[in-house]
Amino acid sequence: MTGTGRIGCALLAAGVALAVGSWCGAARAAGDTVDWKRFNGQTITFLSSNHPWAQAVLKRLDQFTELTGIKLRVDTFQEAQMRDRLMTVLQSRSSDVDLFMSLKSREGLLFADAGWYADLRPLVNDPKLTESSYDLTDFSPALLKAEEFKGKLAGIPLNIEGPVLYIRKDIFARCKLAEPTALEQLPDIAAKLKACDPSIIPFVSRGAKGALAYTFSNFLHNLGGDYFDAAGKSNLCSTPGKQAMQLYADLLKNYGPPGVVNYSFLQIREIYGQGRAAMAFESSNEFGPIMQFPGRTKDSDVALLPPGPGGVSRPTVIGWGISMSAFSQHQDPTWYFIQWATSPAMQTALALDGIAPPRVSIANSAEYKAWLAAEPVRQEWSKSLDAMARTGTSEVGPPMEQQPEARDILGDELQQMILGQVNADQACAAADKQIDALVAREQHH
């Protein structure tokens, strides 16, 4: 069964076609004691980024308000600005923000050690606040584990994602090129695409300082590299480290769009969606928005980044979570929103918008399988996500508490390479020195 309880009924009444059977109104008789109007009239504040998950949920916000009477104040920023605002609020221990999206693979250790996450487990376990159908065990065990720190549940999984290669198969066919099967083929293919049609951007991926670690990490891992060596030293000047920096920078410098050092997911989504790029290496989570552009469902292929030497493939895989501030003064109504937004019924609805579901039951549901079967490109996307889940690594940037700062260091050096200001030897040496200093400072504290 896809979902039960009042949440599922509210979605069904709103016209979401879910195979929920005839359970509406029966869940409370079966023992649920949640009063969804208990916090009627209260207001909570959600600090949101312009992420596809947030966009998909917030367009259904009227359903939450109708169900609960709770008003949600939403402050939406681009991702980097959202993080800046969040840091200011949490460092000041302010109650201005009740809930926020959080990427535990990036800032989880830092936030958990600072005591900024509220523990959601007592709320999940309270039968007066949580429907019995919510079922925390339905979430992917790996994604749920990523939300836990020292026995506390810091968030609820929202999705599973990682970067994938979006390929314009019609352009490849017109230029008589085979799609890449090995990482080292990318520069030659990009050069041939450029010669075939100079009006098309051969390759685009992230160039923005704080964002590019997400896509660069896949290059590093497929070439056999890691951010740290066995002694715990920054390892970017290793052979695979330098190869990854050179390859990534060269692709964007020689075959990317002008101004690519400012590109993150929004710009890449638009440039590929509008038909201006032949290859885009960007998040699987952009699949839904990209496929809304005319023609993209028919002329696109989706695949993992091609493997490196010896068939090495270690795709990046992460999951966003939704978290509550430890300083929130409205924790119970805030939990109502989190519960509603991550319920089986809502996550089924979001899956049909192209948000890869973190719940096992939804990934295996008839509705979701039928949606995938409707378009071959959806099946390719799902196959890539399955492979990520089996073989991926969540090492997105140097694995340390100050990872955001380490990502910026890496981003600075790669940007200078893309702009032709330094070579790989200079860039990796500068990055290693700064990251090692950051590690030493972290250990000293």
Q: What is the mean pLDDT of residues 385-399?
A: 89
Q: What pLDDT score was predicted for residue 2?
A: 38
Could you count the other beta carbons within 10 Å of the beta carbon of residue 314? Answer: 23
- Whether 121 has a pLDDT exceeding 80, the answer reads yes
- Has residue 21 got a pLDDT over 50? no
Percent of the chain at pLDDT > 90 equals 82
State residue 149's pLDDT score: 94
What percent of the chain is predicted at pLDDT more than 70?
93
When pLDDT is cut at 50, 70 and 90, the band that residue 377 belongs to is very high
Rounded Cα distance, 187 and 279, in Å? 12
* pLDDT bucket at 8, cuts 50 / 70 / 90: low
pLDDT of amino acid 80: 85
Q: How far is CA 22 from the centre of its chain?
A: 34
**Where along the chain do its domains lie?**
5-154+319-377, 163-317+392-444
Span 244-297, pLDDT tens digits: 999 999 999 999 999 999 999 999 999 999 999 999 999 999 999 999 999 999
| Closest CA relative to residue 355, chosen from 25, 33, 58 | 58
Average pLDDT for 420-436: 98
pLDDT of residue 22: 28
Does residue 379 register a pLDDT over 70?
A: yes
User: Six-digit token pair at 419?
Assistant: 């702009």
Please check whether the two domains, 5-154+319-377 and 163-317+392-444, share a CATH topology. yes
Q: How does residue 10 score in pLDDT terms, banded at 50, 70 and 90?
A: very low
- 52 versus 25: which is more confidently predicted? 52
Task: Provide mean pLDDT across the span 27-31.
Answer: 43
Rounded Cα distance, 267 and 205, in Å: 10
CATH architecture assignment, domain 163-317+392-444 = 3-Layer(aba) Sandwich (3.40)
Here the contacts of 358-366 (C-beta below 8 Å, separation 24 or greater) are: 358/139, 358/140, 358/143, 358/157, 358/158, 358/159, 358/160, 358/319, 359/138, 359/139, 359/140, 360/138, 360/139, 360/140, 361/2, 361/138, 362/2, 365/2, 365/19, 366/19
pLDDT band of residue 13 (cuts 50, 70, 90) is: very low
Cβ atoms of 27 and 4 within 8 Å: the answer is yes
Each residue's pLDDT tens digit, 177-213: 999 999 999 999 999 999 999 999 999 999 999 999 9
pLDDT band at residue 46 using 50, 70 and 90 as cut-offs: very high
pLDDT of 14 > 80? The answer is no
Average of pLDDT values for 363-383? Answer: 94
Give tens-digit pLDDT for 139-159.
988 899 999 998 999 999 999
Cα separation values, 43 from 20, 65, 68, 118, 442, Å:
30, 10, 11, 18, 38
In this prediction, residue 191 carries a pLDDT of 98
Q: What is the reported pLDDT for 337?
A: 98
Q: What is the bridge-based pairing of β-strands 321-324 and 279-283?
A: unpaired
Residue 404: pLDDT over 60? yes
Question: Which listed CATH number (3.40.720.10, 3.20.20.210, 3.40.190.10, 3.40.50.450) goes with 5-154+319-377?
Answer: 3.40.190.10
Q: Please, what is the average pLDDT of the chain?
A: 92
